[in-house]
Amino acid sequence: MTQTVVSVQLPVQESLEIQKNRITPAPERDSGKRICIITGVHGDELEGQYLAYRLNRALAAHPELLTATVDIYPAINPLGINSITRGIPLFDLDMNRVFPGDPDGAMVEHVAYEVVEDIKGADIAIDVHASNIFLTELPQVRISEETASRLVPLARELNIDFIWVHAAATVLESTLAHSLNSAGTDCLVVEMGVGMRLTRSYGDQLLDGILNLMRTQGMWLGETPAPRKPIVGRDEVAFLNAGAAGIFIPEVRHNHMVEKGQLLGVVADPLTGQDKELVTAPEAGLLFTLRDYPVVYPGSLLGRILTGGFER
């Protein structure tokens, strides 16, 4: 059942509405549990749209297997999605920097507050993101060190490739995930794919993972494929940055182990046909981020390598 989470009047007789689809089990099978799938916080991240579509269809196809309430929020930032902008149009504001919001604050703060209030109390929330238009990320869950003990076991069930446990940063305190975790709702942040595009294989992979997680938590009675065993990494990450301007031509694919000194790509000059820079791996490890948009300048991020301190 489609429900309106918050509605705010805009100029010229328009309104901003954030909606969710609530799917409930039959009363005799209701465990009393609830899981929330949230996406579209950033308007240029569309990978979660495909996931929301697939999850809605999967649950509708087998209602007899559902034992928990599922809330699917496909577009937390509908104005950003409609205008193909990362933040909220006209405000030049990243919505994931205003949570938990303020009921009496400006429009964006009020909307953020209502979203948090609607999700709070769920047993699990999954906040699905994509990368920007420049980079491709393998399916991963990002978790702060302070919540790792309770969230890593949940993340292992999500059929993702990598769990990145990172040190807490001040900026994370204004994100949806931090607000929900602080309020007692376990929230996992998923990053996968590339901005402004759909990667169907990643969406299908995460769909299997969500159903598997629901099964382990007593929310789903269906059979699910065995989840992948993700690498769990800490903050030992090497960043690859361009040293010259040109077009980046990768020689490897992401989600592969690379060796120290291995050629990862070339920054080329289309005008002269020269190689401006040979990009090599500074350390051995897992290449989990790779440049997708080819035009680069000095300092442009080309990739990330998990170099050590990881486990399965």
Instruction: Quote the percentage of the chain above a pLDDT of 90.
Output: 88
Query: In which band, very low, low, confident or very high, does the pLDDT at 168 lie, cut at 50, 70 and 90?
Result: low
CA distance 111 to 129: 19
Query: In which band, very low, low, confident or very high, does the pLDDT at 299 lie, cut at 50, 70 and 90?
Result: very high
**Residue in 24, 18, 20 with CA at minimum distance from that of residue 59:** 24
Facing residues of 65 across strands?
Answer: none
CA distance 277 to 280: 9
Average pLDDT of the residues in 13-20: 91
Mean pLDDT of the chain: 95
3-state SS class at 284: coil
Which pLDDT tens digit goes with each residue over 194-234?
A: 999 999 999 999 999 999 999 999 999 999 999 999 999 98
The structure tokens listed for 151 are 């969230």
Q: Which residues contact 278 (CB under 8 A, 6 or more apart)?
A: 263, 266
Which pLDDT tens digit goes with each residue over 31-80?
A: 999 999 999 999 999 999 999 999 999 999 999 999 999 999 999 999 99
Check residues 173 and 1 and name the one with the higher pLDDT: 1
* Contact (Cβ atoms closer than 8 angstroms) between residue 222 and residue 65: yes
The structure tokens listed for 257 are 């182990």
Is the per-residue pLDDT at 252 higher than 90? Answer: yes
**What integer pLDDT is reported at residue 310 of this predicted model?**
66
Q: pTM above the 0.85 mark?
A: yes
Burial class (CB in 10 A: 0-12, 13-18, 19+), 312: exposed
CA dihedral for 214, 216, 222, 226, sign (positive or negative) = positive
**What integer pLDDT is reported at residue 169 of this predicted model?**
61
Which pLDDT tens digit goes with each residue over 254-285?
A: 888 999 999 999 999 999 999 999 999 999 99
H/E element, 238: strand 237-241
Lowest model confidence (mean pLDDT) among 85-94, 100-109, 239-248: 85-94
* Contact (Cβ atoms closer than 8 angstroms) between residue 113 and residue 101: yes
**What integer pLDDT is reported at residue 101 of this predicted model?**
97
**Residue in 169, 173, 36 with CA at minimum distance from that of residue 98:** 173
H/E element, 75: none
**What integer pLDDT is reported at residue 309 of this predicted model?**
64
**What integer pLDDT is reported at residue 198 of this predicted model?**
96
